[in-house]
Structure 1
Amino acid sequence: MSRWQRVRTGAHLFLVGIRRRMVIGARAVLIDADGRVLLLRHTYMPGWHFPGGGVEPGETAAEAARREAEEEAGFRVDGQMRLLGLYLHRSEATDRDHVAVYVAREFRMVKPFSANGEIAEIGWFPLSQPPEGVDPGTARRIAELASGTEDTQGLW
């Protein structure tokens, strides 16, 4: 993570932390019929990630995961989402970020992806071959899904 990315992410999480005390996020793991997973790269932090973001007031974590998949990547989840787990995401900026990770296999594209100020690119990758530079927490979730194992410590 570059110095600018660390400062920007830290400032954002600090301001959110003042307002909320604890941050709850949600991620959507979209897996297609060929066993590929959708990942994206943000413009403001390094690595490949699942679509996701903060849970808004009055919104469930599952609703947030669905919303983020559509907003960030253009895919609407049609079917059920399975909760993979709730993880503590420790970073240089905070130790109170919790992430609910949901898996969806039924979805459709509702708008074509176009790079923007938040998302630089998206891509589909085999579960068995994630791209170079994948975020460490994302890599752990992909490995669990590929092998059928679960994280027993609850850490992102």
Structure 2
Amino acid sequence: MNGKGIPEISGLTTRVMVFLMHKVFAVTRSMTLGVRAACFDEEGRIFLVRHSYVPGWYMPGGGVERGETVPAALAKELREEGNLVILAEPELFHVYQNQGASARDHVVFYRVKVRQTAPRPPDREIVECGFFALDALPDKVTTATLARLRELSGEVQKADIW
């Protein structure tokens, strides 16, 4: 391929049109976006969290904030929910519609190799967390978490709905 290409958004007219289109999209096509990860340590154990405000065990994750990239949100959520650092390039596994949250919510789901820098003490959001062998998961793991683990193992095909 030759040349540098052209900027996708340049010039006053294009900038104004993109700005106006995004204002319309915010009302007509608005959606929310989250990130979640299957975090495995060097022993192959998965990291799960139990929140104070919903029942069950989940893989760590959270919302992508305005102005935040998905990779930045992933790193932030893993750090906040488990004192986890990412050891290798996260592997994008799938993007799901999360109808359980709303018809407009989507989750970007990764497989990640991690290391915990220090035990994470309980607080008002995360009451319990830890690494678990796949054959020794805690009681009350959520249906969605189990479905994602089955997909990751190749036991079932990827769904499009979280």
TM bin, normalised by shorter chain, reads 0.7 to 0.9
Does residue 130 (structure 1) correspond to residue 137 (structure 2)? The answer is yes
Count how many residue pairs are aligned between Structure 1 and Structure 2.
136
Which blocks of at least 5 consecutive residues in structure 1 are unaligned? Answer: 1-16
Does residue 139 (structure 1) correspond to residue 149 (structure 2)? The answer is no
Equivalent residue for 2:123? 116
Equivalent residue for 1:87? 96
Runs of 4+ in 1 over 4 A off after TM superposition: none
Matches within 5 A, 1:32-111: 32-91=41-100, 94-105=102-113, 107-111=114-118
Deviation at 1:148, TM superposition (A): 5.8
Distance, in Å, in 2 between the alignment partners of 1:115 and 1:34 is 24
Q: What amino acid is the match of 2:123?
A: N
Which blocks of at least 5 consecutive residues in structure 2 are unaligned? Answer: 1-25
Distance, in Å, in 1 between the alignment partners of 2:153 and 2:137 is 10
Say whether the 8 Å CA contact 2:92–2:109 is kept in structure 1: yes
Q: What amino acid is the match of 1:67?
A: K
TM-score, normalized by length of structure 2?
Answer: 0.75
Distance, in Å, in 2 between the alignment partners of 1:147 and 1:34 is 20
Aligned-partner SS, 2:76: helix
